[in-house]
Structure 1
Amino acid sequence: MQGRTKFILLALTLLLLVACNGTSTAEKMYEHMEEAVTLEETFANQQAPLAQLEEEEKKLYDEIITLGMEEMDKVKDLTEQALTNIEERKEILEKEKQSISDAKEEFDLVKPMVEEIKEDELKAKAKELTQVMDERYQAYESLNDTYLKSLDMDKELYQMLEQEDLQEESLRAQIDKVNKTYDKVIAANNQFNEKTETYNQLKKEFYDLAEINVNYSE
């Protein structure tokens, strides 16, 4: 009945000019860091179709709750559409998760390079940004798990709405569970966005310190 809030995406940068001052390790890190961004394009591309499905599901729910028991055939038709919608969203989440997993695998190649950095300030910044990125991936795992649980709650709700002997008390209890799960989804989404925003800023600071001249792309 509710969707996730919009995502803040990883910033993509294009290499313009690299200063020749011993930042070769940082340059190698740059390549993996930006490849990780590219690998998240599939994740980014899932957001529009997911939002569309969320909007469609909300309309289905709003229509269902306006119908009475005497229109059970119509209710069942709409709940079946809603259940199909849920399965389609689960498929999108699988694509999302694979994209994030591929990006993480690429980003993890950066970690051994951090210890090779000789400049203390640059090394400290590199450690900070890799830590934040790890926290971002953890935040995504939490978001994905919570969203899947919310879909399972939705599924239970629509299956209940197909019952001709459904008790109002049971329905209200399930709706309350759904709403509480949505609150957790929003909190997890906000945490993921916060980590993404922090990482984007740290990456910019890292490139500045390493004197890697880049152009930022939206």
Structure 2
Amino acid sequence: MIKRRLWLSIITTVVILSGCFNQKTPVEKIYDILEKVVEKEKGFENQQEPLVALEKKEKATYEKILDLGMKQHDKVVKLADAALAMADKREQYMNEETKSILESKETFQKIKQYTNDLKNPKLKKALEHLYQIMINRYSAHDELNKEYLNALKLDKQLYGLLKNKNLSFEDLEAKVNKVNESYQKVYAANKKFNELTKEYNDQKLAFYKMSGLKINE
């Protein structure tokens, strides 16, 4: 089972005191964008529990296939078809997750236009650091998506092989090894993505506090 991916945190309350004629400051505009990014990733967040549940169910199905062995071929084929359907569904969840991340990125990049409006050099530097962390996070998700879809492809190939009554142990072992190697890459990419998500959440909170926004966590 793959560890669930972390998502962006929401600041429960931020008190904003606008200036004359309710004109928002650059910091307030940045805040609005950053919290819209959180909303854009709701779709990503919503995919996590069903995706993890499906991974567990598919793993259990695969283990049933191994327990049966090739002597009960009809049952193996039925279970392999069920596993294939679950793999297809996982791909749908991953595509929805990626769609949400891309929408998040499109929104997030809008903060760039306000960087030079920040007069405080330390605050500007903090925002630039925050921006780079998030761009790295998006790149990490690109890598995660690539590795996850590749692992899914290998899973499907494995389930297809298991439906072959004349499957040799050598062919099965070779494919299982490829699947395991692929998921090691998925785990590594997922770990990096989670680390960058946590780093971003921490840096965003630090930026809010540095900017003078009154935060009730």
Q: What is the rounded CA distance, in whole Å, between the counterparts of 1:160 and 1:130 in structure 2?
A: 45
Aligned to 1:110: 111
Aligned to 1:52: 53
String of CA shifts for 1:52-75, please: whole Å, max 9, x gaps.
110110111000001132210000
1:35-74 matched pairs, under 5 angstroms? 35-74=36-75
String of CA shifts for 1:92-139, please: whole Å, max 9, x gaps.
111111111111111111111112111000000000000000000000
Q: What is the rounded CA distance, in whole Å, between the counterparts of 1:171 and 1:132 in structure 2?
A: 41
Per-residue deviation, 1:20: 6.2
Aligned to 1:129: 130
| 2:168 aligned with 1:170 | no
Aligned to 2:7: 9
Q: Contact between 1:15 and 1:212, CA under 8 Å: does it hold in 2? A: no
Aligned to 1:93: 94
What RMSD, in angstroms, separates the aligned Cα atoms of the two structures?
Answer: 1.5
Q: Which structure is higher in helix share?
A: 2
AA of the residue aligned to 2:41? E
Per-residue deviation, 1:15: 4.0
Aligned to 1:81: 82
Q: Which runs of 5+ in 2 are unaligned?
A: none
Aligned to 2:121: 120
Q: Contact between 1:19 and 1:211, CA under 8 Å: does it hold in 2? A: no
- Range 17-26 or range 124-133, more displaced: 17-26
Q: Provide the secondary structure at the position in 2 that maps to 1:65.
A: helix
Q: Contact between 1:15 and 1:214, CA under 8 Å: does it hold in 2? A: yes
Aligned to 1:18: 16
AA of the residue aligned to 1:13? I
TM-score for both structures, normalised by structure 2: 0.94
Q: What is the rounded CA distance, in whole Å, between the counterparts of 1:10 and 1:137 in structure 2?
A: 12
Q: Provide the secondary structure at the position in 2 that maps to 1:66.
A: helix
Q: Provide the secondary structure at the position in 1 that maps to 2:117.
A: coil
String of CA shifts for 1:17-66, please: whole Å, max 9, x gaps.
23569981111000000000011011001011101110110111000001
TM-score for both structures, normalised by structure 1: 0.94
Greater relative contact order, per chain length (Cα 8 Å cut-off, separation 6+): 1
1:186-205 matched pairs, under 5 angstroms? 186-205=187-206
AA of the residue aligned to 2:203? L
Q: Provide the secondary structure at the position in 2 that maps to 1:178.
A: helix
AA of the residue aligned to 1:86? A
- Range 129-138 or range 9-18, more displaced: 9-18
State the 4+ residue runs in structure 1 displaced beyond 6 angstroms. 20-23
Q: Provide the secondary structure at the position in 2 that maps to 1:214.
A: strand
Aligned to 1:32: 33
